[in-house]
């Protein structure tokens, strides 16, 4: 079908309008404490704030970003992203992202500048598993090493024990990839809707990550993601 000049103008106007609403709510830094300073053994997260762009605006603006400002994320930003990725949204313990057969094999790690933390959905908190700056284990691209939040999605194949342990590992891993990607996309959309930027990443030294955190042998690296304040 041929596009008329007037329909092109309408389209251009829509694109312009979308650009104007691009990821609104641009990162409000309260500068009290950000992920650049956090180093407690346990970080209690805040309830997700009812802020941000509409889902439509987030979908229109979602894109992979590989250039970030060095600014840390506030506790509210960190809390929102992690809740979107792996948070509990129902009283029965189920999560914001779907999981094949409701087996929930994905363990969600937040790699902050001062430590690697494991997210717990039930308490909406982070518990440190390793002190120090280990961002080199969270990816193989330079921006990973300076951004304030990298999320690493690890599968625990023990989650399938008893019910699906006859399933070949390759099949289990395929399903884990789907579960992790659903979580990752939740976080991508939340980030975009709240003035942050993100990128889904496969490239990471997954085996090294597992070794350094002392993971059990049922753990497998699946996916990673960077979330930060977009470069100005």
Ligand X SMILES: Cc1cc2nc3c(=O)[nH]c(=O)nc-3n(C[C@H](O)[C@H](O)[C@H](O)COP(=O)(O)O)c2cc1C
- Residues interacting with ligand X, by CB under 6 A? 63-64, 66, 141, 199-203
Q: What is the DSSP letter of 34?
A: B
User: Minimum Å distance from CB 139 to ligand X?
Assistant: 7
Nearer to ligand X, 43 or 199 (CB): 199
Nearer to ligand X, 127 or 141 (CB): 141
Nearer to ligand X, 125 or 141 (CB): 141
User: Minimum Å distance from CB 184 to ligand X?
Assistant: 8
User: Minimum Å distance from CB 148 to ligand X?
Assistant: 17
Nearer to ligand X, 46 or 200 (CB): 200
Nearer to ligand X, 66 or 94 (CB): 66
User: Minimum Å distance from CB 18 to ligand X?
Assistant: 15
The 3-state secondary structure of the chain reads CCCCHHHHHHHHHHHHHHHHCCCCCCCCCCCCCECCCCCCCEEECCCCCCCCCCHHHHHHHCCECCCECCCCCEHHHHHHHHHHHHCECCCCCCECCCCHHHCCCEEEEEEECCEEEEEECCCCEEEEEEECCCHHHHCCCHHHHCCCEEEEEEEEHHHHCCCCCCCCHHHHHHHHHHHHHHHHHHHHHHHHHCCCEEEEECCCCHHHHHHHCCCCCCEEEEEEEEEECECC
Nearer to ligand X, 96 or 147 (CB): 147
Nearer to ligand X, 102 or 203 (CB): 203
Rounded (5°) CA angle 179-185-187: 110
User: Minimum Å distance from CB 93 to ligand X?
Assistant: 27
User: Minimum Å distance from CB 70 to ligand X?
Assistant: 19
Distance CA 199, CA 91 (A): 30
Instruction: Give yes or no for a contact between 223 and 85, defined as CB atoms under 8 angstroms apart.
Output: no
Instruction: Give yes or no for a contact between 119 and 97, defined as CB atoms under 8 angstroms apart.
Output: no
User: Minimum Å distance from CB 178 to ligand X?
Assistant: 10
């Amino acid at each position: 079908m041929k596009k008329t000049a007037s329909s092109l103008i309408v389209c251009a106007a829509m694109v312009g309008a979308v650009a104007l609403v691009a990821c609104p709510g641009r990162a409000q830094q309260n500068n009290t404490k950000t992920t650049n300073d956090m180093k407690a053994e346990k970080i209690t997260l805040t309830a997700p704030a009812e802020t941000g762009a509409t889902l439509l605006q987030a979908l229109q603006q979602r894109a992979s970003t590989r250039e970030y400002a060095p600014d840390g994320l506030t506790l509210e930003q960190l809390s929102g992203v992690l809740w979107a990725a792996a948070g509990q949204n129902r009283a029965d313990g189920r999560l914001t992202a779907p999981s094949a057969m409701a087996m929930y094999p994905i363990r969600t790690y937040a790699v902050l500048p001062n430590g690697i933390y494991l997210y717990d959905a039930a308490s909406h908190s982070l518990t440190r598993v390793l002190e120090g700056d280990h961002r080199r284990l969270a990816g193989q691209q330079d921006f990973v090493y300076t951004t304030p939040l990298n999320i690493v999605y690890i599968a625990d194949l023990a989650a399938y024990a008893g019910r699906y342990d006859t399933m070949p590992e390759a099949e289990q891993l395929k399903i884990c990839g789907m579960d992790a990607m659903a979580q990752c996309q939740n976080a991508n959309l939340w980030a975009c809707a709240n003035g942050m930027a993100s990128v889904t990443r496969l490239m990471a030294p997954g085996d090294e990550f597992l070794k350094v955190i002392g993971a059990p042998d049922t753990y497998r690296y699946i996916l990673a993601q960077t979330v930060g304040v977009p470069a100005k």
